[in-house]
Amino acid sequence: MSLFTTAPFAIFLDLLMILYTLWVVSLNDPKGRLSIGIGVGMLAWLGLLHFGLSTKSLFPENISSVTFLIVIFVAVGLIGALLLLVKPIRNRLVSLSQKQLLLLQGIRVFFGANFLMQASLGGLPQTFGILDGWTHIGAGFLGLVAAFTLAADVDGERRAWFANIFGTLDILVVASSLALILLPKLTPFHPMMYAVFLPAPLWLWFHLISMWKLVQSKSNQVLLGQQA
C-alpha cells in the first residue's frame, strides 16, 4: 500500500486545506491574523471525523448506498446550519469577498492530484479516480481564474458563475457516485471519506454563498439603474 492511498495522507490534505482556508479568510483582516477560533473548530471536527472513521463507529459497516447518501446530505445540512446560524461564523463568512470565496476553491487542485495518484496506485477505481481527479483540479483552477479576473475587473462575474456551477456539480456528482455506485467496493471508511465529510461540504457552501452574492450584486445593480 502506498502512502498516498492511506488515511494519514488524507489527514495531511485536510490539514493543508484548513491552513489554506485560514489564510484566505485572514486576507480581509487588516493585520492578516489567522482565526484561532475557526482553526480550533476545524481541527476538532477533523479529530472527531478521524475517531469515527478509524474506529469504524461513525456509521454501520453494512450501511446501504441510499442511506449513506442521505448521511452525506444531512452532514452538509448540519454544516450549513453551523455556518449560517452561529452569528460570529455567519458574519465572518458573509464578510468574505467574492475573490476570497472563489480563492477558497483553489486548494482542490491538490485533492484532485491525490485522486489521480490513488487511481494509478489502486486506491480508487481507475475510471472514477481519473474523472474525479480532473474535475477537482478543474474546479480548483476555475476558482483561481475567476478570483483573478474579479481582482482584475475583467468580466469576472461570468467566470465566477461558471466556476461556481462547475464546482457545485462536481461535488454533487462525485458524492452521488461514491454513495450509490462505489460504496460496496470502497466501504464507508475509505480514506476518501476524510474529503467527503470535511472539505467537500465547506466547498459546497462556499459555492452557494458565492452564487447568492452574485445574485445580490445583480439585484443591487438593477436597483441602482432604476433609481438613476
Which residues constitute the domain of residue 127? Answer: 3-227
Tell me which residue has cell 467566470.
Answer: 159
- Percentage of the residues of the chain whose pLDDT score is greater than 70: 96
Task: For 133-174, write each residue's pLDDT tens digit.
Answer: 999 999 999 999 999 999 887 778 999 999 999 999 999 999
Number of domains in the chain: 1
Looking at the predicted structure, is the pLDDT value of residue 224 above 70? no
Residue 51: HSE in the Cβ half-sphere, 13 Å Cα cutoff: 6
Distances (CA, A) of 209 to 103, 110, 175, 180, 197: 13, 23, 20, 27, 19
Average pLDDT over residues 35-48: 95
Average pLDDT over residues 26-46: 91
How confident is the model at residue 219, as a pLDDT? 76
- What is the chain's mean pLDDT, rounded? 93
227: confidence class by pLDDT, cuts 50, 70, 90: low
How confident is the model at residue 193, as a pLDDT? 97
